[in-house]
Chains A and B, each alone.
Chain A
């Protein structure tokens, strides 16, 4: 009965019609991750042609460790941006959390896991305070987090005794951004990951077809799984190449440990956003807060939780940054970190107007940001040029967002 009277047709649409639907969406202004992917390809091609060392294995590995901190912060920012809010303090929040960890770890001699836990709890508390101020008091998030941006700089200075540099000597913490997985383990993680992804996609297809619902066709799933396998396969292969200048002295190969860390975070938050009622409510509040309220969703609680997640992710970003720098100083999480993180999220396709975005966007955008910084560094540009270019990239991506939104509302896809 459902097959005849419902608007749904059973079975899978042809791959051609899915491709056509996709182009129609893009033309209608729903760009998704397209600008980030195109930008990534173009930037890589430009830098590779201008600077031969850009494509070297060691630089490829550097891209991951350089971009990791900013990407993790951007992943957290996605939640705040989804609500149409902003967290300008995420950068220095990460600095404060890193300082808490460094003080406990190095000065107080705490074990690494307790220090990390303390840093994460600090992040959660920061988010709680920001969220309550925004949601309950109704202060615009821009103002609250701008104030916090200033205040956290001061807090970091206090924690670090007015500006000393605390070095990190704990092996575990240092390993996060400086050590690699054994090459075989890298391959094993890749194979297991791709198989699990394929398994999830196929069981989902079978379940939906079994119930007579519209499902992705086998070809689409094959393309998706194949693309994932190829891209990640190439990445793992290159990362497993020997990249030490003097392999006899010290061998350097394998997937950096930050990569699986980021992937786990990506999976956890993507699951939360797309498979749980909580994630659905985040999108609803970002899309139409009044409708969400009438649907019985506690809008304030969703707002606060988004800030908590953002600051929590900032704390992880701070730990990664500290690991990479081998130390924490008052500038950890400062200067460009926040703008790069916001830029990463927006370049990836997260809208500044709320309601649209994915955690994966932060990863793609983070890759673009990392490539820009890295490539320009290789070409020997000064900091001044880097700032100008990165600012231009951020502005460009926000412009693309605004224009696609305009286009989308004109074509009824707002």
Chain B
């Protein structure tokens, strides 16, 4: 557990026009661990993730990947390093099947022709590696899948590319109890397979169920990044709502300007 972080951010600032959204944020993600990123609405979670994914450029700060300083100037750079983001709206095509969705934009070809068999094999292997048994056929259209199955496909799509860091944006927000459990199990398995997983969630039960570390953002500042085993439910809630909880958190408690 005490490995070096695979992804580390230091002193990230980000403004949109006159509004500073991120103040001097530090964030580390460790391989084989689930790092939960929590914070209230508008705390900067999405912005931070988009900075990691290269969608928003950072104003200042340092980005380390696997110990080396890197410069990420677009989504392609992030994807090339092995950082994949699974967005809340999943970005799947309903009219395509599971295999087609998993390889969308990165199809395997032999010559001009699509190599369907290889793609199907790779997709099956990836899903098997994640112990996914809930889908009936890989040639099923995504439209016929349940919410949890869709989430599974979206996650498997992200894992397919030997990714090292997978960021999941509210993967359980729209799911029922049983499906949430399934997806959380999958999230845990990703980490157990050695990936670094970042889980954005509002649901404290989910966070405590699967995460190894919790990073709490408060008004654009990193209030604390702690081991899950060392904090309680209510401490995290305090960090989210007030930015500090006892010894933990921001020194002034209210250091951020709105």
Contact = CB atoms under 8 A, between A and B. Distances in A.
A276 interface: yes
Interface string B117-130: 10011001101100
Given A6-B125, A277-B109, A207 B96 contact: no
Given A6-B125, A6-B127, A211 B95 contact: no
Nearest to A215: B117
A5 interface: yes
A214 B138 CA distance: 9
A412 B114 contact: no
Contact of A413 (B92, B96, B136, B144): B144
A288 B91 contact: yes
B66 interface: no
A293 to B, nearest CB: 9
Nearest to B126: A6
A335 to B, nearest CB: 34
Nearest to B91: A291
A208 B99 CA distance: 15
A29 to B, nearest CB: 10
A28 B144 CA distance: 10
A287 B128 contact: no
Given A8-B137, A276-B114, A412-B143, A295 B105 contact: yes
B1 interface: no
B95 A408 contact: no
B226 interface: no
Name which of B106, B135, B137 has the most chain A CB atoms within 10 A of its CB: B137
Instruction: Choose among B95, B133, B138 the residue with the greatest number of A CB atoms under 10 Å from its CB.
Output: B95
Contacts of B107: 277, 280
Nearest to A290: B91
A202 B208 CA distance: 53
B144 A291 contact: no
B105 A8 contact: no
Contact of A296 (B76, B89, B92, B144): B76
B211 interface: no
A408 B143 contact: yes
Contacts of B92: 288, 291
Nearest to B93: A287
A275 interface: yes
Given A287-B94, A294-B91, 14 more contacts: A6-B127, A6-B128, A7-B128, A7-B132, A7-B137, A8-B138, A213-B117, A275-B113, A276-B114, A291-B90, A296-B76, A412-B143, A412-B145, A414-B94
Nearest to A5: B128
B131 interface: yes
A280 B105 CA distance: 9
Contacts of A280: 96, 100, 104, 107, 114
A34 B94 CA distance: 21
Contacts of A5: 128, 131, 133
A213 B120 contact: yes
A57 interface: no
Nearest to B105: A295
